[in-house]
């Protein structure tokens, strides 16, 4: 979670560099994450936007009004929490500009290690800033909407992409500018006799599921599970076939999988932040085992250095490594 940047975002209000919004103001908060604390007197209604399912659920559980995508117009103010993806940051700022009233305040903050200074300079060149403040290893900056030209420029610089194979993606998604090499190795290693009901865990924008649909002629069901709302929306455009795929916006580590499958394919994430967190993949392995029918098979790819063998041994009757290259290894496991 972005604990420090969240503090940075609200610091200008605490330092009285920015006035607190009116109590009846409508404030849009793009990229909102759990754990923020509002300054004393910040009583305006917040409309939070968060498409990452674990954060969405945590914010919802805290009683906030949160949606996966921004809705509505005419906000008095917008807050933007910037992350590590330049394109996604610029698109969030564009959305903030488009959704606030003319003259509405837009405040942005991010960590210095995530490139917020470059973002500040980029925006200042398009829409002169009213001010900025460094704090908590980050920088907050702010400006007011003068028109939508800046938003148009930011969108033009970050268009939706079409990568190898005709897949539609957008900045901020995992491997948005190319097909992930690990997923390619896994797809090439899949057996030719996949049949029945199949799920893609951590489906992203749908490459593996599309490969399963293309290669497997005995499918009775194809389900995609993904925590990133925008990536799953892209997968809806990228994955087709008969039977019609089903899409589930799900946090696999904490939400139940109701269906049972003959096979699961999976390229699980292994970063929660900057450091590798093998526990995420291990948790996904356990969830996959529970979601498989007796005798069902898991096919997964992982970075070579990640120690998933113990988790596979504990969760499955048998497993083996079926492929390897300079960066990745592919496992097959049977329940």
Question: How much is the pLDDT for 216?
Answer: 85
pLDDT at 279: 83
pLDDT recorded at residue 193 = 84
Per residue in 268-310, pLDDT (tens digit) is 987 555 555 668 889 999 999 999 999 999 999 999 888 899 9
C-alpha separations of 311 from 203, 257, 287, 298, 330 in Å? 21, 19, 11, 13, 14
In contact, 100 and 28? CB cutoff 8 Å = yes
38 close to 63: Cβ distance less than 8 angstroms: no
pLDDT tens sequence across 13-57: 999 999 999 999 999 999 999 999 999 999 999 999 999 999 999
Q: What are phi and psi of 294, to 5 degrees?
A: -55, 130
Sign of CA dihedral 37, 42, 46, 49: negative
- In sequence order, the β-bridge partners of residue 46 are 27
**φ/ψ (deg, to 5) at 138:** -145, -175
Provide the mean pLDDT of the chain. 94
Q: What is the largest CA-CA distance in the chain?
A: 65
Q: Which residues are CB-neighbours of 265 under 8 A, at least 6 positions away?
A: 186, 190, 198, 199, 200, 201, 208, 209, 212, 298, 299, 300
Measure CA 206 to chain center. Answer: 14
The predicted pLDDT at position 276 comes to 56
Other beta carbons within 10 Å of 255:
16
Q: What is the pLDDT of residue 307?
A: 86
pLDDT at 3: 83
Q: What is the average pLDDT across 120-131?
A: 96
The band of 202, judged by pLDDT with boundaries at 50, 70 and 90, is: very high
Convert the chain into a string of H (helix), E (strand) and C (coil). CCHHHHHHHHHHHHCCCCCCCCCCCEEEEECCCCCCCCCCCCCCEEEEECCEHHHHHHHHHCCCCEECCCCCCCEEEEEEECCCCHHHHHHHHHHHHHHEEEEEEEEEEEEHHHCHHHHHHHHHHHCCCCEEEEECCEEEEEEECCCCHHHHHHHHCCCCEEECCCEEECCCCCCCCCCCHHHHHHHHHCCCCCEEEEEEECCCCCHHHHHHHHHCCEEEEEEEEECEHHHHHHHHHHCCCCCCCEEEECCCCCCCCCCCEEEEEECCCCECCCCECHHHHHHHHHHHHHHEEEEEEEEEEEECCCCCHHHHHHHCCEEEEEEECCCEEEEEEEC
The tens digit of pLDDT for each residue in 153-193 reads: 999 999 989 998 899 999 999 999 999 999 999 999 999 88
Tokens 């199949």, located at residue: 198
- Give the model's confidence band at 241: pLDDT under 50 very low, under 70 low, under 90 confident, else very high: confident
pLDDT of residue 157: 94
Query: 1 pLDDT exceeds 70?
Result: no
């Amino acid at each position: 979670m972005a604990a420090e940047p969240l503090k940075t975002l609200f610091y200008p209000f605490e330092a009285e560099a920015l006035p607190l919004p009116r109590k009846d103001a409508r404030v849009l908060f793009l990229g909102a994450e759990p754990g923020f604390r509002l300054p004393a007197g910040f009583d305006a209604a917040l409309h939070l936007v968060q498409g990452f399912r674990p954060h969405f659920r945590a914010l919802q559980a805290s009683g906030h009004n949160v949606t996966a995508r921004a809705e509505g117009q005419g906000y008095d103010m917008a807050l933007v929490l910037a992350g590590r993806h330049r394109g996604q940051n610029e698109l969030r700022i564009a959305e903030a500009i488009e959704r606030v009233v003319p003259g509405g305040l837009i405040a942005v903050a991010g960590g210095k290690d995530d490139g917020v200074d470059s973002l500040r300079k980029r925006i200042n060149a398009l829409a002169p800033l009213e001010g900025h403040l460094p704090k908590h290893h980050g920088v907050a900056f702010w400006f007011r909407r003068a028109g939508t030209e800046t938003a148009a420029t930011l969108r033009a610089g970050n268009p939706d992409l079409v990568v190898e194979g005709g897949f539609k993606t957008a900045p901020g998604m995992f491997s948005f500018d190319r097909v992930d090499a690990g997923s390619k190795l896994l797809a090439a290693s899949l057996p030719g006799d996949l049949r029945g009901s199949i799920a893609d865990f951590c489906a992203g924008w749908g490459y593996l599921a599309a490969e399963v649909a293309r290669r497997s002629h005995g499918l009775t069901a194809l389900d995609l599970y993904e925590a990133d709302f925008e990536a799953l929306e892209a997968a809806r455009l990228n994955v087709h076939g008969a039977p019609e795929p089903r899409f589930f916006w799900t946090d696999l580590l904490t939400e139940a999988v109701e269906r049972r499958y003959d096979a699961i394919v999976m390229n699980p994430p292994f970063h929660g932040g900057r450091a590798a967190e093998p526990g995420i993949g291990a948790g996904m392995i356990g969830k996959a085992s529970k979601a498989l029918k007796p005798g069902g098979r898991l096919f997964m790819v992982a970075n070579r250095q990640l120690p998933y063998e113990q988790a596979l041994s504990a969760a499955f009757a048998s497993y083996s490594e079926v492929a390897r290259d300079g960066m990745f290894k592919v496992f097959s496991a049977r329940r």
